[in-house]
Amino acid sequence: MDLVVRNASLPDGRRQIDIAIDQGRIAAVGERLAVNAAREIDAEGDLVTPPFVDAHFHMDATLSYGLPRVNRSGTLLEGISLWGELKPELTQDALIERAMQYCDWAVARGLLAIRSHVDICDDRLLAVEALLEVRRRVAPYLDLQLVAFPQDGILRSPTALANLKRAIGMGVDVVGGIPHFERTMAEGAASVRLLCEFAAERGLRVDMHCDESDDPMSRHIETLAFETQRLGLQGRVAGSHLTSMHSMDNYYVSKLLPLIAESGVAAIANPLINITLQGRHDSYPKRRGMTRVPELLAAGVDVAFGHDCVMDPWYGLGSGDMLEVAHMGLHVAQMTGQEAMHQCFLAVTETPARILGLEDYGIAPGCHADLVLLDAGSTVEAIRLRAARRMVIRRGQVVSESPRSRATLHLPGRPAATAFRLER
């Protein structure tokens, strides 16, 4: 064996587990494995998880914060006008440089798979070319999946459809959309039909920005579920944001949830961004705006949490930490029950891995040897502490290390240090 990780706790609750790794894959998982390996890592009882997965991101805008100026008001509207000022000034080299830097942060956070939307409404397709290059460069250590995203509307923008087809032809993986931004409800529904038919024809996955609005009548998720079922796209379609569901009439939602479940459409909420941008037209009470996460889960729908933005015109915070995303999602959705907190951890690991269609993901014999050793004993503790990533392993190789979180104390009669963990 090349490597064995000993005495790990696993996300499913198993403890004192050894994980043997050979040639980049997991060879065996069990208690006290009798194997010799070139290298041994002692997890000391800490949590070892498959890598974090971000199901929703915008890598073409990331780390552009302050270019050409900061978003003073912190609002969506100023963010959109800022993006408009920045777009003509984007160069491919600068975009690649920022994306590569973000991928460094991601790896250090144990985030080894990202689905990024890329705006295809610029006729030069400069961002598409740049992110295809980034995908190629990071492939040894990070899976980057790209979505052709018509930011200005596939029907509303005159060149968007041709650009989307070109982007897919160049190697972009997934078909995107933004039905609530089309000119009318009918145009929005038509855009969903058109894009789903295109995806079905080409055998592609679909991930649309869908109903990112506080308007309870924004019901494009209904059309997305219907088209998914009609075209046999079950398990390959995701609705991102779905924030209008927060504001919808409860009776209508009682019809909608089973339709979504039946269609096999997954939901991707973006808690950091939804809690920031939704409800902005409200006085008080102010809506939270995140989609109905516990209710979707209870209906049997896959729900993942995405980061959406990090240091871009819309959001000046973030650092690629999916535990921060899970932490916010847990709070916004009030998912404080024991099982619910664990589900928030799955929403940034296993569930998005399934939505992206990642192959051989997990901790079982035959899976890729991609692992994260956390400075925490359980999934809930990992979220509570936004735990340090003691080690990040990709294909059996250690690609990043961080020290445990520990503070030295200078207090009379108290211990010399604390690690923020309950000693039992």
Minimum Å gap between C-beta 117 and Fe ion is: 6
Report the residue number whose CB is nearest to Fe ion.
Answer: 308
Residues with catalytic annotation? 212
Q: How far is the CB of 55 from Fe ion (least distance, A)?
A: 11
Looking at 41-49, 200-208, 308-316, 349-357, which segment touches Fe ion (CB under 5 A)? Answer: 308-316
Q: How far apart are alpha carbons 288 and 187 in whole angstroms?
A: 28
Candidates 172-180, 183-191, 305-313, 412-420; binding stretch for Fe ion (CB under 5 A): 305-313
Interior/surface letters 262-284, b for 16+ CB within 10 angstroms, e for the rest: ebbbbbbbbbbbbbbbbbeeeee
**Residue closer to Fe ion (CB basis): 17 or 172:** 172
Q: From the CB of 173, what's the least distance to Fe ion, in Å?
A: 16
The nearer residue to Fe ion, 122 or 308, going by C-beta atoms, is: 308
* Residue 314 identity: W
Q: 308 vs 375, which CB is nearer to Fe ion?
A: 308
205-210/237-241 β-pairing: parallel
Contacts of 399 (CB under 8 A, 6+ apart): 107, 141, 392, 393
**CA distance readout (Å), 214 to 152, 269, 274, 422:** 19, 14, 10, 41
Of 6 and 246, the one with the shorter C-beta distance to Fe ion is 246
Number of residues near Fe ion (by CB under 5 A): 1
Q: Which stretch binds Fe ion (CB under 5 A): 69-77, 246-254, 307-315, 397-405?
A: 307-315
CB 206 → Fe ion: shortest distance, Å? Answer: 15
φ, ψ at 4 (rounded to 5°): -130, 130
| d(C-alpha 415, C-alpha 5), whole Å | 30
Fill in the DSSP letter of residue 376: S
d(CA 133, CA 25): 26
From the list 62-70, 301-309, 314-322, 355-363, the region that binds Fe ion by CB under 5 A is 301-309
CB of 67 to Fe ion, least distance (A): 19
Q: Which is nearer to Fe ion, 271 or 377 (CB)?
A: 271
**How big is the CA angle at 366 (ends 343 and 383), to the nearest 5 degrees?**
25
Residues that bind Fe ion (CB under 5 A): 308
